Amino acid sequence: MADYISAMPIQPPAIARVVVNLSLDREFDYRIPERLRGQVHAGTRVVVPFGHSERVAYVVGLAADSTVHGLKEILRLENEKERIPEKLITLAQWMADYYCCPRELAVRAMLPAVVRKGTMKAKQQTQVVLKPEQHLGEVVPALEKKAKKQAAVVHALVRLGGRCELRRLLREADAAEAAVDALVEKGIALLEREDVDRDPFAADTVLPSSALELTPEQKAALESVTAAMQAREPKTFLLHGVTGSGKTEVYLQAIDHGLKAGLDAIVLVPEIALTPQTTERFRSRFGETVSVLHSGLSDGERFDEWRRINEGRSRVVVGARSALFAPVRRLGLIIVDEEHETTYKQDEAPRYNARDVAVVRAQMEKAVVILGTATPSLESAHNCKVGKYVLLTLPKRVDNQVMPVMQVVDMRQEAMERGQPQIFSRTLELLIRERLERGEQVIIFLNRRGYASQMLCTKCGYVAKCPDCDTAYTYHKQAAQLVCHLCGRVLPAPAACPACQDPKIRYAGLGTEKVEAVCRKLFPRAAVARMDSDTMTTRDCYRKALNEFRAGRTNILIGTQMIAKGLHFPNVTLVGVIYADSSLHLPDFRAGERTFQLLVQVAGRAGRGDVPGHVVVQTYTPFHPVLQHALLQEYAPFMEEELETRRALSFPPSTHMVLLLFRGPKDDALYAAAKEFAEKVRPLLGPETFMVEPGPAPIPKARGLYRYQISMRGGNIVKLTRLLRPLVGNANAALRPKEMEVTVDVDPYSLM
Ligand code: ADP
Ligand code: ZN
C-alpha cells in the first residue's frame, strides 16, 4: 500500500482539518478546492461556510481523506502573510490537551489579537524618487528660472541619493507638496508607496555595549549553555543566582553565541519588569534585531513588531508571557527570567504557564532553555532534583558585595511594651532616621494597598462588606472611599456606622496608604512616595516615580510587590518589611514559598552600592521556619524542608494538581452541580488520583457569583485531562442555560 502511494504523483492533500473561531472545542473537515491546493497548510487562516454564515477558521492539519460525506469547501484564504507557523500549531495542540482547554482558544493564543483581527495594515510612507536617465544639466537651470521651489526639491533629491521620504524631502528643500506634484507631472520624479515599521524605540537612543569579561562562575554557566546549543540538545538549565550575580550578562552572551550560529532567541520577563531599563540592556547589545512585545505598545507597534519577527527581520524577542509564541524562524534559546513569578501563568483559558510551555516549545524545536532566578520555584528545584533540568549556580554578587544584614523584630513584644500594636517598631524607626541623616534611601514594603483592610464598628460589631463578594471593603482614606478589592465596587466611606449610627467607626488592618500617612507624621521632613496600583495608574506614572527615586529626590519609597522586584537603586541601604505575616498564613500550600521568595527579593533591593544593606522584617510569628530560612537566605535547606512537606501531603511539585471551579448565581443549585460532577468523575479515577470533594472556594463569592471547587492531584496529568475534557464540556453545555460555568485549571497557581 505504502509503495503504491509513493509511486503515484504527489497530490497536495484535499482535506483541511480546521478549528473555527468560536468556542466549540471541535475540529471540522473541509474540502480544499482545486485552485487552493498546495496553498493551505497547518496554520493557514481560511474562511469557511459555517451554518448559515461564513467564519474564519484555522487549519490545524491536512488529510488525504475524510470519513465525513458531503464536505463543504473552503471559500478563500484570509491574510496569508499572517499565518501561524506550523510548529506553533503543534504547540497549541499540546496546550489544548495538557491544559484541558478548547482547541480554538489554544490556537488563537498563538497570534496577538491585533494580528488576528486582520484589520491592521502596515503603515505606509511615500518615497519620492528622481527618475533615472534625465539630463539634469538641462532640467535644473530651466526650473531655476521659472520654478525655484521645484529646483530646490531636485537639488535636495540629488543630494540625498535620488530617493527620499516625502515629508523629509519637503523639510530639506523647504518646499510644499505642490512642488513635488509638479515634478511628478513633468515626469522628473515619481512617487512610490512603501511599508515602514512603527518603531516603539523611535524616541530613544541607546549606547552600544559589548560583552564583559566573565567571572569563572559565569563562564562555566555560559559554557554549559552554549555546548547544548551547539549540539542542538534541548536541555533546560536552572540558573540560580542572587540578584546582581550576573545572570543577565550570561543571557546576553548566550544569545550572542546563538545569533552568530544562526539561532534566534526569545527572552521572557514578567510584565512588570518590562521597563525601559530592561529592554535597553538587550538593545544596547544587539541593536535593531531586538523586538519587544508588551502591553505598553500601541496596536500598530505590536503589529509591526510581530511582522518584523515573522519576516525574520528581528531575531531577539523580549517580552511578557505571550511573547513565547513569537514566530521566530530558528529558535535556539528561550530565557525565562524570574522563572518563579506567578505572572507567567495566565489566569484565563488557555490557563498556561509560559515557563512550562517554554520547555515544551524548546523540546519541539531543539532549543535550549535558561530559567533564571534568585529564588527558584519549588517546581524547578524539583525538576533539577529528578534530573529533568540542569542546575547552574552563581553564588556571589559580581561586585563581591556582602549580602544585606537581616533582622527580625518581634511585633508582639513591641505591642506589649508600648501598650498597643505599632506600625513602625522602634528599631525600624531609629534605622530610618539614621539613613535620612546620612542622605541614604529607604524602601518600605507592605503587600496590601489601601488604608485599612476593614471598616469595623466597635459598638455593634458591624463590618462593611461588599454584597457581591461577601468580603470586607478596604478603606481608602485619601479618596474617602470603600473599595472591594475583588470586584472593584466603590462607595463613599460613611461617617457613622450604617447599622447603629455610632460615629466611632474604627478602621482595622493595615494598607500602604496608612503606612504612608504614619510615615509622613514620623518623618515630616522626608520626601515620601508611595507606589501601588492605586497611585500608579499608568506606565508613565510608574516611570516618573522611579526616576524621582533614582535621582534621589524621594527619600522613602513605600510600596507593594510592585517595588519588590528587579529594580536597581545603589543608594538604598535599608528595607523595612512592615508585616511579613500577611502572606504567610494564606490558605494556599504555596504561602510559605511565596513569602520566602518575597523576602529574599525585597532584601535584594538593599545595599547595591558601596554601603552594605540592612533589612528589618517585622512579624508577629518571629520563629516561623520560613522566616528563619529567609533571614539566613538559606535557599537549599528551605527547599529541602518544603519539598519534603509537599511530598508528605502529596502536593505539587511532587504531584500535579487540577482545580475545577464552579461559578454561578444560585448557591444551592451550584453546589448540587458540583456534587453531581464529582459523582460522575469518581468512578473513572484510578487509585493514584486523589479527589477533594466539592466545597466552597477560599473566596466563596465574588462579583455576585458563588464559587465551589473540586481539586484533584496525583497520577498522569494527560490521562486525567483526557478524562475530564468531555465531562467538563458536557457540564458546561448543561450549565450554561442556568448561567453557571465550570473552568479547569491545570497546575493552578491561584487556589482562591
Ligand atoms: P543579575 O541579572 O543576576 O541581577 P546582572 O547581569 O544585572 O545580574 O549583573 C549585575 C551588575 O554586574 C550589572 O551592572 C552588570 O553589568 C555587572 N556585571 C555582570 N557581569 C559582570 C562581569 N563579568 N564583570 C563585571 N561586571 C559585570
Ligand atoms: Zn465586591
pLDDT grade for 226, boundaries at 50, 70 and 90: very high
State whether residue 190 is helix, strand or coil: strand
Which of 207-216, 251-260, 369-378, 506-515 shows the lowest per-residue confidence on average (mean pLDDT)? 506-515
Distance between CA atoms of residues 466 and 679, nearest Å: 33
SS3 (DSSP) at 331: strand
pLDDT tens, position by position, 603-627:
877 775 677 789 999 998 888 888 8
- Say if residue 350 is preceded by a cis peptide, omega within 30 of 0: yes
Which residues 6+ apart lie within 8 Å of 61 measured at CB?
16, 17, 27, 42, 89
Residue pointed to by grid coordinates 504557564: 353
**Mean pLDDT, the chain, as a whole number?**
87
Instruction: Please tell me the predicted confidence (pLDDT) of residue 202.
Output: 63
In short, whether 214's Cβ falls inside 6 Å of ligand 1 is yes
What is the gyration radius of the CA atoms in the chain, in angstroms? 30
CA of 582 to the centre of ligand 2 (A): 21
Name the residue of 209, 282, 398, 605 whose CB sits within 8 Å of the most ligand 1 atoms, as the mutation to test its pocket. Answer: 398
Q: Are 475 and 468 spatial neighbours (Cβ–Cβ below 8 Å)?
A: no
Whole-number pLDDT of residue 204: 66
Indicate if 657-746 has the same CATH topology as 216-400.
no
Q: Whose CA is nearest to atom 11 of ligand 1?
A: 244
Tell me the β-bridge partners of 61.
Answer: 17
CA separation for the pair 294, 213 (Å, rounded): 31
Q: Band the pLDDT of 2: cuts 50, 70, 90.
A: very low
The x, y and z cell numbers of residue 651, run together, are 502536593
Q: Which residues are close to ligand 2, an ion, with C-beta < 5 A?
A: 466, 468-469, 484, 486-487, 489
Q: Which residue has the higher pLDDT, 248 or 751?
A: 248
pLDDT at position 678, please?
94
What is residue 494's three-state secondary structure?
coil
- Residue 212, ligand 1, Cβ within 6 A: yes
Q: Which ligand is nearest to the CA of 482?
A: 2
pLDDT-derived band of residue 5, with 50, 70 and 90 as boundaries?
Answer: very low
Q: What is the pLDDT of residues 397-452, one digit of tens each?
A: 887 777 788 899 999 898 889 888 889 999 999 999 999 999 999 999 998 877 77
The Å distance, Cα 482 to ligand 2 centre, comes to: 10
The yes/no answer on whether domain 405-451+510-642 falls in CATH 3.40.50.300 is yes
Q: Which residue has the higher pLDDT, 245 or 565?
A: 245
> Which overall architecture, per CATH, does domain 2-83 show?
3-Layer(aba) Sandwich (3.40)
pLDDT at residue number 4: 46
Model confidence band, residue 685 (pLDDT cutoffs 50, 70, 90): very high
| Residue 608 vs residue 659, higher pLDDT | 659
Asked if residues 742 and 716 have their Cβ atoms less than 8 Å apart, the reply is no
* Residue pLDDT, tens place only, 167-218: 888 888 888 888 889 888 988 888 888 777 776 666 667 778 888 999 999 9
Residue 338 Cβ inside 6 Å of ligand 1? The answer reads no
Q: Does residue 372's CB lie within 6 angstroms of at least one atom of ligand 1?
A: no
Q: What angle do CA 750, 591, 465 make, to 5 degrees?
A: 65
Model confidence at 344, pLDDT cuts 50, 70, 90, reads very high
CB 296 within 8 A of CB 539: yes
Query: Are the C-beta atoms of 658 and 745 separated by less than 8 Å?
Result: yes
* 584 phi and psi angles, rounded to 5 deg: -80, -30
**Whether the CB of 211 sits within 6 Å of ligand 1:** no
| Paired residues of 162 in beta bridges | none
Q: Is 3 a residue whose pLDDT tops 50?
A: no
Angle between helices 247-260 and 216-230 (to 10 degrees): 30
Confidence category of residue 386, pLDDT binned at 50, 70, 90: very high
**216-400 has CATH 3.40.50.300 classification:** yes
Structural contact between residues 184 and 190, judged by C-beta atoms closer than 8 angstroms: yes
**CATH classification of 657-746 is 2.60.120.10, yes or no?**
no
Q: DSSP string covering 296-340, please?
A: TS-HHHHHHHHHHHHTTS--EEEESGGGGG---SSEEEEEEETTT
Residue with CA closest to ligand 1 atom 15: 246
Measured CA to CA, the distance from residue 516 to residue 493 in angstroms comes to 19
248 lines ligand 1 (CB under 6 A): yes
Query: Is there an atom of ligand 1 within 6 Å of 245 CB?
Result: yes
pLDDT value at position 310? Answer: 92
Asked if the bond preceding 200 is cis, omega within 30° of 0, the reply is no
Enumerate the domain spans of the chain.
Answer: 2-83, 123-196, 216-400, 405-451+510-642, 657-746
